[in-house]
């Protein structure tokens, strides 16, 4: 079984992405790792080159900064990396620059890739998500956070990155048929030094919105305000080993009152229905579980 990992990144140092940890977390499962490194204002290219693995293959790309349509440029860059993987690979493992897989899931992911390798009805594998916010001690538990996403896909060239690169579809526009597996992706997108987080917010909103929208909706401040959140819970598990050094070097404080809940009435109703019936109302699913 051949597995090609793939990802994309730009300005990883400037915006404090744990991209090295992301790549290292899935390397044990991959026969190669394609990294599309975009034109950056920092030493991102050298950072990726410094990862000690002969599995890594870098392609250098140029982002089209004129594409400002709902994050579409992120899907374009994802597709560049996906198209560059080994054509003989059975599976492609996608990881974003702020996502890390815990080593405790490696065996389960490998077993499921092997189990479904020859079952071509299965077009992808669906992972659970743990979303960290503010620090490495808190996770988001409200309905603003997506529960699951597809991160392992068939090596088929009719599969493409969908919308803002959160998931995938098959041409012309069909959802993938997937198996939900017992593994999680840890998402650290909202755990950054507050200045880097604020800069990232401003920068990345340019891939969704106009300058006018940004001026009206993104606060003009030097640091991101982590206090504006509806609900968090304290993380009770362990972090991936590749994250331990980054966690030890945390340079800011964030404390959250877990008793404070700011859920809307709509979300409170959703929560009640889910606890009562097990169904999550209105959940966006860019996949079909088979």
Nearest to 165 by CA among 197, 207, 134, 124: 207
Q: Which class would CATH give 3-190?
A: alpha beta
> Which two tokens mark 203?
């920068």
pLDDT (mean) for 110-137: 98
pLDDT band at residue 271 using 50, 70 and 90 as cut-offs:
confident
Nearest-angstrom CA–CA distance, 52 and 66: 35
pLDDT (mean) for 145-169: 96
DSSP letter assigned to residue 72 = H
Beta bridge partners of 6: 34, 94
pLDDT at 136: 97
> Which two tokens mark 102?
């815990």
Asked whether the predicted pLDDT for residue 119 surpasses 90, the reply is: yes
pLDDT at 100: 98
Nearest to 36 by CA among 147, 165, 162, 127: 165
Domain boundaries defined on the chain: 3-190, 193-225
Helix (H, G, I), strand (E, B) or coil at 264: coil
CA angle 89, 35, 158 (to 5 degrees): 45
Asked whether the predicted pLDDT for residue 283 surpasses 90, the reply is: no
Nearest-angstrom CA–CA distance, 34 and 60: 10
| Residue 273 · residue 163 · CB < 8 Å | no
DSSP letter assigned to residue 202 = H
Q: What count of other Cβ atoms lies within 10 Å of the Cβ of residue 198?
A: 19
Asked whether the predicted pLDDT for residue 82 surpasses 90, the reply is: yes
> Which two tokens mark 64?
């089209």
């Amino acid at each position: 079984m051949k597995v090609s990992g793939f990802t994309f990144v730009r300005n990883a140092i400037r915006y404090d992405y744990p991209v090295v940890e992301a790549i290292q977390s899935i390397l044990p499962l991959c026969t190669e790792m394609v990294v599309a490194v975009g034109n950056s204002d920092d030493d991102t290219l050298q950072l990726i080159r410094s990862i000690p693995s002969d599995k890594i293959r870098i392609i250098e790309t140029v982002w089209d900064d004129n594409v400002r349509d709902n994050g579409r440029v992120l899907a374009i860059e994802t597709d560049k990396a996906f198209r560059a993987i080994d054509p003989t690979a059975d599976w492609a493992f996608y990881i974003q620059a702020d996502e890390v897989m815990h080593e405790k899931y490696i065996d389960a992911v490998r077993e499921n890739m092997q189990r479904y390798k020859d079952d071509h009805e299965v077009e992808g594998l669906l992972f659970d998500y743990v979303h960290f916010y503010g620090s490495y001690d808190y996770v988001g538990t409200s309905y603003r956070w997506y529960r699951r996403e597809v991160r392992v896909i068939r090596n088929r060239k009719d599969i493409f990155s969908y919308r803002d690169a959160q998931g995938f579809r098959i041409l012309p526009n069909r959802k993938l048929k997937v198996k939900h597996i017992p593994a999680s992706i840890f998402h650290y997108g909202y755990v950054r030094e507050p200045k880097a987080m604020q800069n990232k917010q401003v920068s990345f909103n340019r891939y969704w919105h106009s300058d006018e929208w940004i001026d009206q909706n993104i606060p003009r401040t030097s640091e991101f305000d982590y206090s504006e959140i509806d609900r968090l819970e304290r993380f009770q598990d362990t972090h991936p080993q590749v994250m331990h050094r980054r966690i030890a070097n945390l340079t800011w404080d964030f404390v959250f009152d877990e008793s404070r809940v700011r859920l809307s009435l709509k979300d409170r109703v959703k929560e009640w229905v889910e606890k009562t019936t097990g169904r999550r109302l209105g959940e966006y699913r860019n996949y079909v579980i088979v």
